Amino acid sequence: MDLPPNNNLDAYWMPFTANRQFKAHPRMFVSAEGMYFKTSDGRDVLDGIAGLWCCNAGHKRPRIIEAVKNQVEELDYSPAFQMGHHKAFDLADRLARLMPGDLNHVFFTNSGSESVETALKMAIAYHRARGEGHRTRLIGREKGYHGVNFGGMSVGGMPANRKMFGSLVSGVDHLRHTHGIAGNEYSRGEPEHGAELADDLERLCQLHDPSTIAAVIVEPVAGSAGVIMPPKGYLKRLREICTKHGILLIFDEVITGFGRLGTPFAVNYFGVQPDLVTTAKGLTNGVVPMGAVFASDTIHDAFMTGPENMIEFFHGYTYSANPMACATALAALDTYEEEGLFTRGADLGDYWADAMHGLRGAPYVKDIRTMGLIAAIELDPIEGAPTKRAFNAFLKAYDKGLLIRTTGDIIALSPPLIIEKSHIDMAVETVRRVLEEIE
């Protein structure tokens, strides 16, 4: 068995992990380069999931390594409150230019969960700043995932993530999800059916009175709860209903941001303009924790009133715009741009989709969905043991040298954007063999 040098597997309580299963059969990475992790027993494992949807430029990227080294020698920390440093302003400017429309103001956080909390608080405080303090209600969606803090967990719609934790934040409701609509099986890109599910927002407006609703938050493509692509026209319709009722629309782009769909953001891909966007993960290529919330001019400007020496938004983190994180993000953006990685999902999209859909008919496969460099391979569950079949597939794939991620009985693939066709072939063949061998 693979033990760490101190022989103690017990002290580290691992997140979102079956700790007892892991500690009986540890899986350890010791290094990573390009498309591969190296395990402690010397095997190469193809990274089929970009770490956790975050290492979009792959691993051990020279520009990023150099940026981290240089930054720690130059300015290791700078207080986040009432002080600034150049790289924070450089990065915000660069991000604002990359994001379409008037989402020109960037608030830095340290994770996707913190970005979500920040956006939800910003939405409520924005309405209050305009004299609409009655708008406090937040709307999420069934099967949504918005991180693990109380606000994000409450607007999130994954039962397993909620049910241990009591009554959660009050004044929250959920739109119906768009998973499993008849006729949408084996979709490439946006599925055809289900745009009318956006009208569910009208139901909630009638139920609660729209003037009590601050914001709606959705993932343009839901990742963690099953890799669910939005039906054609769905997001546009949500936008229209939000606009009609003065409700803010928040896109949680923690996984879709930074090239995942073959465009810089899902905002580009779907051509729908939200009021706030949450990001993290690919912002720094996953190397240093960092998140960013993009706010529209209208939202930002509503705060910039009152006496000049007054704090406008009572919110922030000790590590907001941390210099190491800013330097890493700037180097990640350089890498993405130099290597054209934001369009890789479009360039390789057909090859990717053909390869993934080639798994149709493999054992247990009941649906396959693709978009950009994302794929979901949905399996029939083992009767009475949901999630077990996909988890077995994860273990078997790891043994065969491929890292995948599973949620429920769905296999998710979302590789680094540097992936080549040969890696795609290898990933598909490995999944096929895994499905042939598991029960």
Residues in the interface with ligand PMP (CB under 6 A) total: 14
Query: With respect to ligand PMP, which residue has the nearer C-beta, 220 or 231?
Result: 220
47 lines the binding site for ligand PMP (CB under 6 A): no
H/E element holding 120? helix 112-129
User: Is 116 a residue that touches ligand PMP (CB under 6 A)?
Assistant: yes
Query: Is residue 111 near ligand PMP by the rule CB under 6 A?
Result: yes
Q: Is 109 left (phi over 0), alpha (psi -120 to 50) or beta?
A: beta
Specify the residue, 50 or 129, whose C-beta has the smaller distance to ligand PMP. Answer: 50
**Other CB atoms within 10 A of residue 395 CB:** 15
Instruction: In whole angstroms, give the CA distance from residue 120 to residue 108.
Output: 14
CB nearer ligand PMP, residue 296 or residue 414:
414
| 156 vs 194 by CB, closer to ligand PMP | 156
DSSP codes of every residue in 395-436: HHHHHTTEE-EEETTEEEE---TT--HHHHHHHHHHHHHHHH
Cβ atoms within 10 Å of 218's Cβ, excluding its own: 25
Q: Is there binding between residue 409 and ligand PMP (CB under 6 A)?
A: no
Of 61, 141, 146, 179, the residue at the interface with ligand PMP (CB under 6 A) is 146
Residues 6+ apart with CB under 8 A from 133: 127
Distance from C-alpha of 287 to C-alpha of 327, rounded to nearest angstrom: 11
If binding is defined by CB under 6 A, does position 389 make contact with ligand PMP?
A: no
Q: How far is the CB of 432 from ligand PMP (least distance, A)?
A: 27
Report if residue 147 touches ligand PMP, rule: CB under 6 A: yes
Q: Which of 88, 217, 235, 280 binds ligand PMP (CB under 6 A)?
A: 280
Site string for ligand PMP, 229-258 (x = CB under 6 A): -----------------------x-xx---
| 376 is a contact residue toward ligand PMP (CB under 6 A) | no
Q: Is 29 exposed, middle or buried (CB count within 10 Å of its CB: 0-12, 13-18, 19+)? A: middle
Q: Which of positions 180-239 make contact with ligand PMP (CB under 6 A)?
A: 219, 223-224
Pull the structure tokens for residue 256: 């879709």
Show the beta-strand stretches assigned E in 248-397.
Answer: 248-252, 276-279, 291-295, 365-371, 374-379
Interface pick for ligand PMP out of 56, 71, 113, 154 (rule CB under 6 A):
113
Q: Which is nearer to ligand PMP, 223 or 259 (CB)?
A: 223
**Binding stretches for ligand PMP (CB under 6 A):** 111-113, 116, 145-147, 219, 223-224, 252, 254-255, 280
